[in-house]
Chain A
Amino acid sequence: MRTIDRRPLALAGCLFLAALCLAPQTAHAHLVQTGFGTFYDGVAHLFITPPDLLVAIGLGLLAGLCGAAASRSVVFALPAAWLAGEMAGAFFPSSLALPWLTTVSFGAVGVLVALNANLPRALLVALACGAGLLHGFVNGSTMVAAGTDRLGMIGASVSVFLVITLASGLVVSLRAHWAQVAVRVAGSWIAAIGLLMLGWLVRGQG
């Protein structure tokens, strides 16, 4: 029987998906002016950027579900990667907001939380580093365009640290079954928002 070689088709599919993920969109430099200086502007930045906030909360919930030991690693890995990404974005600023990748990142984290995925610590840290580098890079690029200095970037990383520490600490402390299910429901909400956002991006209204 003749077998069909599907490798070229799979390769073409992968290339198409990669191109889709890298589709550019103009970055919106929307830094909030708190009036307390650039550090606090950076702190506030996370809370007005929903994709960043969702990925930080989602990773906090996921780390909490994976246990205290995993959480201890992730609460430092994510802000460190975020800061590294911001520095990279500041040195090599890009006008691309990479919305496809940021949406996929928080959506995938939401799916993992909803599935109550018990990831190995190394994989969880790798996931946090990847998400941190990506979101931090976008942050760094937009912050440079808005005229924020490195103090603002440190502020953004500090707020990421606070959010992920509070979220993972809260989940680790949960004992009631219903509370753990509520965490999974929150994950499914994040995943649902990611799916809808992908649709908006296809439509060009992201």
Chain B
Amino acid sequence: MLEQKRAGNIGPAQGKAPRTLFLAMLALLLLPATVFAHQETGSITGIVSGLKHPVSGMDHVLAMISVGLWGAQLGAPAVWLLPVAFPMVMAFGGMLGLMGISLPGIEIGIAVSAIVLGAMIVTESRPPLWIAAALVGFFAIFHGHAHGTELPAGSSGLLYSIGFVAATGMLHGVGIAMGLVHAFRGGRLAVRAAGAVVSAAGMFFLARIFV
């Protein structure tokens, strides 16, 4: 360092850079944060609530990621078909809920979805495409019915729906991206292990309903 300085490679300004950065970060820490003493309402609350809602419940997160994982395991065309079909069927379930049409055993259906989808990943099941789509679609109705209707008071239903659908779709994307490791030998095992975790979590959710 000293030799570099002597050689003229490091100027005085460059030598002070870490200290300046440290002082700037210290100053940032001292910035005051405004207190918001009011309930958030309006458009932005709707879209933020919609984006947050699917990732706030582990049951929904695991099921959505497992749809992506299973799709990646099945390969084309299932990997494309499932994320196209799922949001529409899920929204149909949400619409049923919003219209006041009740479905029996919603929570059980959600827990069973994690168990079954996880089991499909563990066993690397390859049913015909229409059976895979029907199975995923069946469970999508339960997820839509349970989660699509929980709009916070004072928010816009449309913006909540946009956030909810986008977040769910991104969870599928995460599942598909994780499933890409399936192409490797070790990754294949990792995907199956992830399926086992999802299935075990589903059993926990199911047990929690009855206990």
Contacts and interface: CB of A to CB of B under 8 A. Distances in A.
Interface in A152-192: 178, 181, 184-185, 187-189, 191-192
A203 B94 CA distance: 12
Given A199-B94, A200-B157, A200-B161, A185 B148 contact: no
B10 interface: no
A199 B95 contact: yes
Nearest to B43: A48
Given A51-B158, A197-B158, A198-B95, A185 B83 contact: yes
B161 A185 contact: no
12 contacts: A114-B84, A185-B80, A185-B87, A189-B169, A193-B162, A195-B92, A196-B94, A196-B157, A196-B164, A197-B158, A200-B98, A200-B151
Contact of B166 (A189, A195, A197, A198): A189
A181 B80 contact: yes
A111 B92 CA distance: 12
A188 B158 contact: no
A195 to B, nearest CB: 4
B58 interface: no
A34 B36 CA distance: 26
B76 to A, nearest CB: 8
Interface string B163-175: 0111001000000
A77 B98 CA distance: 36
Interface of A: 50-51, 111, 114, 178, 181, 184-185, 187-189, 191-203, 205-206
Interface in B41-87: 80, 83-87
Nearest to B162: A193
Select the residue from B91, B96, B99, B164 with max chain A CB neighbours within 10 A: B91
Contacts of B161: 192-193, 196-197, 200
Contacts of A194: 91
A191 B157 contact: no
Most buried by B among A51, A111, A201: A201
